[in-house]
């Protein structure tokens, strides 16, 4: 406390606390308190309103015996395994293409970024219509090639694929922007040196672009995986809750939403959110450990 002895230092500390007070109050209420409260709720049988009873680990025990939860967990992992690699590869290719100095490239950028800012509800709505099995554009085009299109959104075997297509369509733009920012950070001199050595495009990509872009790629993979563990919007928007397609597409967060906010099993929902947090935490820590093997920090 020696540091704060002078009048001036005390005045500064006082000013600082006034400045951080609104923020810290918010964090204490909406984050710290809410976090602890959620743990507490997860040990109760809290419904919508009224008194909740402490029931110990019951919610967690129920969760680990809940087939719906396992199905949702598997579905969520499917979303990650299908969408994250597809997004990373496609957006890297698009970013490489957009990084070429060509006439009219700006128009392509604008168009490819459009899904980022489009209201998800409108996106879900139009894709639901595109996937309509009788009158939808997708099955009509497939029909032209003599393929009988499936009932995309109500067949539990394909509903997840349909949602994945939409999620990839929505998510590429953001990843492209981030890759482009990374590409523009690579110094041109590396490529000039490689040209002098007579390296071809593939060699240049493998020995310059990819290693120098690996921190960006790593960061994107980590954030995309975290994001896809929380996938909800498009499932909710495209598949009616009572449809048979929901079983094949339901993610953890979709199940959480149904339990906590349509059936009002809040204690159970809270427990599920806590388990989701632990899963994300473990996966992220594993990735942080693995990064040393492939990420190159100049």
Partner 1 sequence: MNKKKNVWVYAFLVLCAITTLIPFIWMILTSLKTYGESMQVPLVIFPAEPQWVNYSSVWNKFPILRLYINTFFVMVISIVIQIFICSLAAYAFARLTFPGKNFWFVLSLSMMMIPYQIFLVPHYDIMVSWNLSNTLTALWLPKTFNIFALFMLRQFFSSLPIDLDEAAQLDGCSKFRIYWNILLPLLKSPIVALCILTGLGTWKDLMWPLIINVDMDKMVLSAGLANLTGQNITNYPELMAGGTLAAAPMIILFFFFQKQFVEGIAMSGSKA
Toward partner 1, which CB reaches closer, 140 or 157?
140
Binding mask 113-132 for partner 1 (x = CB under 8 A): xxxxxxxxxxxxxxxxxx--
| Residue 286 in contact with partner 1, rule: CB under 8 A | no
Which listed residue (142, 208, 222, 247) binds partner 1 by CB under 8 A? 222
Binding mask 17-36 for partner 1 (x = CB under 8 A): x-xx-xxx-xx-xxxxxxx-
Toward partner 1, which CB reaches closer, 118 or 207?
118
Which listed residue (41, 73, 162, 231) binds partner 1 by CB under 8 A? 41
| Residue 64 in contact with partner 1, rule: CB under 8 A | no
Toward partner 1, which CB reaches closer, 159 or 216?
216
Site residues (CB under 8 A) for partner 1, limited to 156-185: 169, 174, 177-178, 180-181
| Residue 193 in contact with partner 1, rule: CB under 8 A | no
Distance CA 96, CA 84 (A): 18
- Among residues 73, 53, 51, which one has the least CA distance to residue 63? 73
Residues with Cβ within 8 Å of 16's Cβ and at least 6 positions away in sequence, in order, are none
Angle separating helix axes 67-98 and 159-184, nearest 10 degrees: 40
Toward partner 1, which CB reaches closer, 105 or 193?
105
* Token output for 162: 């349909």
H or E element, residue 150: none
- Among residues 60, 28, 68, 29, which one has the least CA distance to residue 44? 60
Distance CA 59, CA 267 (A): 7
| Residue 108 in contact with partner 1, rule: CB under 8 A | yes
| Residue 102 in contact with partner 1, rule: CB under 8 A | yes
Query: What residues are paired with 74 via a beta bridge?
Result: none
* Token output for 111: 């168009």
**Taking a C-beta distance cutoff of 8 angstroms, is the pair 138, 130 a contact?**
yes
- Among residues 34, 38, 35, 33, which one has the least CA distance to residue 266? 38
Distance CA 17, CA 194 (A): 54
Taking the complex as a whole, the smallest distance from the CB of residue 118 to partner 1 amounts, in Å, to 5
Which listed residue (156, 223, 247, 283) binds partner 1 by CB under 8 A? 223
* Token output for 221: 């993979």
| Residue 202 in contact with partner 1, rule: CB under 8 A | no
Site residues (CB under 8 A) for partner 1, limited to 234-253: 236-237, 240, 253
Toward partner 1, which CB reaches closer, 93 or 206?
93
| Residue 294 in contact with partner 1, rule: CB under 8 A | no
Toward partner 1, which CB reaches closer, 10 or 206?
10
Size of the site for partner 1 (CB under 8 A): 97
* Token output for 281: 């935490």
């Amino acid at each position: 406390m020696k540091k704060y002895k002078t009048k001036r230092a005390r005045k500064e500390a006082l000013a600082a606390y006034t400045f951080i007070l609104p923020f810290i109050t918010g964090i204490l209420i909406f984050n710290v308190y809410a976090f602890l409260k959620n743990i507490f709720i997860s040990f109760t049988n809290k419904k919508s309103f009224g008194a909740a009873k402490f029931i110990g680990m019951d919610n967690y025990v129920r969760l680990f015996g809940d087939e719906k939860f396992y199905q949702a967990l598997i579905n969520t992992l499917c979303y990650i395994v299908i969408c994250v690699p597809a997004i990373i590869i496609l957006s890297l290719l698009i970013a490489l293409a957009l990084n070429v100095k060509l006439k009219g490239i700006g128009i392509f950028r604008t168009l490819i970024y459009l899904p980022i800012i489009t209201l998800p509800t409108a996106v879900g709505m139009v894709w639901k219509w595109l996937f309509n099995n009788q009158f939808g554009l997708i099955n009509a085009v497939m029909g032209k090639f003599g393929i009988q299109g499936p009932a995309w959104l109500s067949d539990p075997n394909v509903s997840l694929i349909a949602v994945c297509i939409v999620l990839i369509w929505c998510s590429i733009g953001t990843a492209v922007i981030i890759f482009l920012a990374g590409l523009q950070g690579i110094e041109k001199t590396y490529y000039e040196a490689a040209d002098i050595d007579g390296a071809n495009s593939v060699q240049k990509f493998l020995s310059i672009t990819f290693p120098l872009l690996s921190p960006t790629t790593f960061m994107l993979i980590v954030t995309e995986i975290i994001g896809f563990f929380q996938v909800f919007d498009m499932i909710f928007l495209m598949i009616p809750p009572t449809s048979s397609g929901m079983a094949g597409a339901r993610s953890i967060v979709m199940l959480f939403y149904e339990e906590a906010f349509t059936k009002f099993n809040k204690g159970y929902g809270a427990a599920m959110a806590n388990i989701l947090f632990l899963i994300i935490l473990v996966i992220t820590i594993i990735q942080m450990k693995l990064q040393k093997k492939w990420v190159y920090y100049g």
